[in-house]
Structure 1
């Protein structure tokens, strides 16, 4: 994962320039070769034939038109995960079959040549989140598990890839098949091939196994093995088919995924490859008069001109500090910015303080303690 310095990315076009930050993730992606796909298809066809013969799976009529709709989002935060968000999207399906040409469902270029799925990456600390098992992969629709592969190294990064990925494949009643790829090693459901799953059932954890540049889920949907047409579940100007999502998310799903206070700037360890280690967030929720907390906001789909207003509130709700900022860059799939403001005064009141951000009509809050206050009360108070 590459983190670009502030000078290499943009300046904040507002009242306060951040002390640091920039782009995150650098668009995690994957490349599944034709030979890789052919091997998977052969294995799945063999499994399906065996399951049909055993009476554990109904044969799909060749004339049936796949229309598996009502898809649930294939990720969810694990129990105990408290941040506002956990993901971003780096790539959609490439709808342009021409070599060297790309087109996504919204007539944009958030894809790459020949990409056949959706890449949903972890953010803002992907390796840490992966190792902590922060995000579950779940079935987007009911169906039957028709294939599984596990045990492959899950710490792939640019130009250092494991030989194979870890994945679960689910066939739906209409014959369409969903691929859930790049899973964390040994995190998969214990359900065997031939078992049925309901929408929302646990399938595994997000990892970076196979040809992957960072922790993300490759979610791919296509028609029956006989028809094998790649399906883009998002509907838009360049994909007139009806949306297959129960609730389609917007093309730019702008949000703050994490609001935090730090004792030191977060450390992403450069490109963190070929042996990626967890990021060092340097988070802190405990400060004292005279300290200078670092205030940080972590975004997905941050767009130029979107203003964020920040406030730091004393325990009585009065405003201690306020500032705002907006990015000049056209689009960041994931980004972060941090500020070191004036030190807390010697007379700073002890208690629970609040760091508040208002962004795109939403209000986000993070609580921190000043003085000899039990930090546990922060979480008991209902704040992250």
Structure 2
């Protein structure tokens, strides 16, 4: 097992070097857990997805050191059903669905952690949790969800498509400064049109989006960075999904339900 873990760490460092991205520094574990698979070894991956390259394996019953957790592919496992993945001390990932652990709080992986690809054609635009839902009782006109990402977190296209809008939308002033709750509008935002005339909208960017109208983007392409421009009381990503072109309030649908249908969890 010791030699296997050494090979795992070496393989990840080699892959990171090949991609031209520095491997993340090994951090002190926040918690430990026990792998529960029913007997078979659990694959460790280079990212939070069952289709990310396999780094190695951990035996059933083995203890793993967990550094942080991140949102990724939804997995139905022997311990739970979840979209959370655990980053281990050797910088590999395992699904939390196969890890039994105590009550120790596990921090979210830093926003600077690279966002690996997930299975299928969709991914979450930022590694952040839900802070405000879709059309809640308190906010019935809220046509998207707010994800609590920190300022300057990269916002990634949730799927491949074409950029159809790059807009500064604010009731007064400019989008190049922090907004506030007395304003109206999405601030700096971009829209991407995907297959099936699905449109995603990404609001409150810190500065003008990094893409231009007509540009083709892949899943995971950086569209811009989290900010708080427009009608916003603090840095976050306001994320919308629309079933039609152009994107309007009438064709807005719940991003939580939309992503859940594609095996991804916003929580």
Return the TM-score normalized by structure 1. 0.33
